[in-house]
Amino acid sequence: MKQHALKTVALVFILLIGATLRLYNTSWDGGHYLHPDERFLTMVGTAMRIPVTFQEYLDPAVSTLNPNNLNYSFYVYGTLPLVLTKFLAIWTANDHYGAYGQLGRVFSAVLDTITIFLVYKIASLLARKQGIPGPFALAAAGFYAIAVLPIQLSHFFTSDIFLTFFMVLALYLSLHFSYSRRIWLIPLAGFAFGLAVASKISGVYIAPLLGLLLYLAALDTSPLGAKKDYWRELLHRAFALPTIEKTVLYVLVFGVVALATVRLSAPYYFETASVFDFSPSTLFMSNIEQLKSFDSRDGYFPPAIQWMTKQPWFSLQNTVVFGLGVPYALLVFAGLYLVFSRYRSLAFCMIAAWCVAYFTYQSFLFVKVMRYTIFLYPVFALLAALATVHFLKKRSPFLYGLVTLAVVIWPLMFFNIYTKPHTRVEASEWIHANLPDGSLILSEHWDDGLPLLIPGASKSFPGEQLEVFYPDSPEKFAKIEEQMARGDYYILSSNRAWGSIQSAPEKYPQMSQWYPALFRGEKGYTIIHEITRYPSLEWLGIPLTFPDDWADEAFSVYDHPRVIIMENTAKKLREKPIPDVPGIDASQEAGF
């Protein structure tokens, strides 16, 4: 009883830590919604209206919850996160732009905190069935609680955290069924899977793993005899008729419930209002095809430029260094080794193999953004926990403390991002405090121009955008140079353009050289101020900082971009009045 109480206290402590890391200062950006996906979803969500009847809700042609009927014809996400947040916003009287997105952030953070608990439950099942030593379940919950990418994405209202929550819930229910064979768990798992797909279509990626777990439940797992006969006996049972019959039955029940759930919770994936018509929406499918067309080395879609020269190892590099942290990642690799060598658990092997397979697949895609692997982080936590309890069992508390310290340093450094205002907010305040009223400020298209709206600020700054992502041409540079000559200040509010363009010189042979010349002062502009907010321990009084400008663009641009403010010093010199020189008249002054 005492041990159970201690375990409960430890779990509550981990959940509190996880909740704090996710909920702390969710308005650090001043409510400006500087994540483009979040801003878009907030705009769509606030435009939504609750249909009068259920039939209207189902009808994609008239429903006021369908983005396509709200002047948002290009929409590639599921609507479930927006609809759930909409009901919550109405209930709490927060159904307006300023509050809706903030409420969505809190919703995301709470769901991801519950995901910590689901990771604990999954680990408890594995530990009980496989005899994994030590506090494996608590360690797994702890590892997910401090994982940096989930902490970061929980500070935004996007579909990623909703997707992860429902996928992990489906995984837990399917794993529970594979061990307990309680038939009522199958429809629950199908329901959770359906909600994952309704949140984002990429929820389908977990379907193979869930199918394998249902297959495992149908498999006779009684003792398999001597080691030398293990695999032969396993293969015999795997293809036995009873196993196949049960699997078909399980998958059928799961599939029917999942399909019905998607049909009712994401009706705008479909063409008509009939619940028996599963024809996919032609507009949604064309949007997906259009989205795929952006991911091409031949085009000039600005968000795709950064991926032109990225190799498959880029995904691994970003996950190891930024998403997890190096010590954490090393434990994940060690956990993978143990799963396939030391702990001969079919379920754990299936989970780990699915994780490796999807990560490898994602690494070879054109777009290698970290958040597309967010739903693998619960598995990373399981693997890291397995390595920790295996290698540190019967070790001294000092060694446990050393490993813990090594793992938590990176999350503590990343937490620095939320201890101060967003860099673009801080830059906007500096602009209003230091730049002359009416100054012409140049920014770049496909990025947020500064200054942002600051409450109480009285200055006004006209602005123009440089079309830096356009293909290199004499016309492009003539226009840019003309704007540069007129501008008073040039503000790079992130490295979105100069970071991407310089990495693709074959795409931008001139522009990739233009930026280095700009930073060298050869374009008449001089850097007068920079605002950075890197992962750091400075908030704890420790002078340790890690610049992350070279990370996946989305990792820094949305919540802590480097802002560079440049002044047109060439123009300032041209306009500087000639000083009065005693003894020289106006005619001499002209010659001087």
Q: How confident is the model at residue 586 (pLDDT cuts 50, 70, 90)?
A: very low
Mean pLDDT of the region 561-585: 78
In tens, the pLDDT along 434-455 reads 999 999 999 999 999 999 999 8
Flag whether pLDDT at 47 surpasses 60. Answer: yes
Do 378 and 340 share a domain, yes or no? yes
| Strand boundaries in 433-518, DSSP class E | 441-444, 463-466, 489-492
Do 161 and 284 share a domain, yes or no? yes
Q: Would you list the DSSP string of 119-163? A: HHHHHHHHHHHHT--SSHHHHHHHHHHT-HHHHHHTTS-SHHHHH
Structural tokens at position 3? 């041990």
Q: How confident is the model at residue 580 (pLDDT cuts 50, 70, 90)?
A: low
**What was the pLDDT predicted at 591?**
34
**What was the pLDDT predicted at 209?**
98
DSSP three-state, residue 465: strand
In tens, the pLDDT along 106-142 reads 999 999 999 999 999 999 999 988 778 779 999 999 9
Q: Name the packing angle between helices 159-180 and 80-91 (round to 10°).
A: 110
- Can you give the residue range of the structural domain that contains 517? 423-532+562-575
Do 410 and 438 share a domain, yes or no? no
Q: Is residue 542 part of a domain?
A: no
Do 7 and 129 share a domain, yes or no? yes
Flag whether pLDDT at 236 surpasses 90. Answer: no
Quote the CA–CA distance of 84 and 265 in Å, as a whole number: 10
Q: Is residue 540 part of a domain?
A: no
DSSP 418: G
Do 165 and 264 share a domain, yes or no? yes
Do 142 and 236 share a domain, yes or no? yes
Look up the pTM and report it.
Answer: 0.94
Number of domains in the chain: 2
Flag whether pLDDT at 219 surpasses 70. Answer: yes
Mean pLDDT of the region 24-32: 94
Do 411 and 511 share a domain, yes or no? no
Do 471 and 390 share a domain, yes or no? no
Mean pLDDT of the region 302-312: 92
Among 417, 443, 474, the domain boundary falls at 417
User: How much is the mean pLDDT over the chain?
Assistant: 93
**What was the pLDDT predicted at 400?**
84
Q: Is residue 591 part of a domain?
A: no
